[in-house]
Amino acid sequence: MFLSDSEQALSTEYLRQGYVVRPAADADALQWMRTQFIRLVSDALGTPLSDNPEDVLNHIHRQVPVAQLNTFRLKIIRGFNAVDEFRSMYFRVARPYLETLVGNELAMQLRVNLSIQFPNDDSSLLPVHADTWSGDSPYEVVVWLPLVDCYGTKAMYLLPPKATGELKQQFANRAGNSSEDLYQSIQQDVKFLEVRYGEVLLFDQGLPHGNRINDETETRWSMNCRFKGVFTPYGDKKIGEFFEPITLRAASRAGMAYRLPDPS
């Protein structure tokens, strides 16, 4: 392995835990994204907002009824995905970590996703699952980016690699008849991840994960987007349909364009 000491340490931590949390690699890009969110929220509500983005986002449940949450969320998603620079800024926040864990020739999901989870609301739950169970490639890494401090049940949970290995061996006996049955069988082993605003989480989406009812007093805002090596195997989500190359190198471009001489 010709990795540097810091690259080896990051890789070892990721493989041991199934995730890493690090400071955002580009604080200006993160601040730019949160500013876009405040603008979009203000437009969606049709009202000026306070100058404190932390307060606006943490307490948005005071302004948006639960019945309108999904419509509101989808409007915000359409808004930031329509901003030309948004995906580039998103990539900048995690770039050095992705280049260590995944590689420097990357494909990125075409659309960034957003989760908004109000306190004590059961309408935005994501049952326990692994993305690979529904056809995603095991070569993908999720970049999970909070816009507010996420902790306790305001955050997501992950089943660590060792416990996941045990679950796979006993899956038929532990899966039960529903995702809730499955969660109850792993509840004692899952880890709720603390990720503060200004940090970024990268995790293995082949590990079971999800969220529970947010018992905290604040709303969760978190984005997620998948990255993978351009030349690694794809699952059901193909390049051009779900992913697009974002950092192809010159040798790859030349090689993809190369044709042998016509012998005729």
Work out the burial of residue 247: count CB atoms within 10 Å of its CB; fewer than 13 is exposed, 13-18 middle, 19 or more buried. Answer: middle
The predicted model gives 241-249 an average pLDDT of: 97
Q: What is the pLDDT of the chain when averaged over all its residues?
A: 95
For the chain, give every domain's residue range.
Answer: 19-248
State how far the Cα of 249 lies from the Cα of 36, in Å rounded to an integer: 30
The predicted model gives 197-225 an average pLDDT of: 97
What pairs with residue 20 in β-bridges?
202
Q: What percent of the chain has pLDDT over 70?
A: 100
Helices (H), 21-139: 27-45, 53-58, 69-81, 86-101
Class of 19-248 in CATH: mainly beta
What 51-55 contacts at long range (C-beta under 8 Å, 24+ apart), as own/partner pairs, is 54/148, 54/197
The predicted model gives 81-97 an average pLDDT of: 97
pLDDT tens digits for 149-167?
999 999 999 999 999 999 9
Residue 5 carries which side chain, given as an amino acid letter? D
Give me the pLDDT at residue 86, please: 98
State how far the Cα of 126 lies from the Cα of 156, in Å rounded to an integer: 9
Confidence of residue 174 (pLDDT cuts 50, 70, 90): confident
Give me the pLDDT at residue 118, please: 98
- Alpha-carbon distance values, 76 to 60, 79, 217 (Å): 13, 5, 22
Q: Looking at the predicted structure, is the pLDDT value of residue 178 above 80?
A: yes
Q: Looking at the predicted structure, is the pLDDT value of residue 175 above 90?
A: no
Helix axes 27-45 and 69-81, enclosed angle (nearest 10): 130
CA angle centred on 124, ends 208 and 107, rounded to 5°: 55
pLDDT tens digits for 25-59?
999 999 999 999 999 999 999 888 777 889 999 99
The predicted model gives 203-207 an average pLDDT of: 97
Q: Looking at the predicted structure, is the pLDDT value of residue 215 above 90?
A: yes
Give me the pLDDT at residue 114, please: 97
Give me the pLDDT at residue 51, please: 76
The predicted model gives 226-240 an average pLDDT of: 96
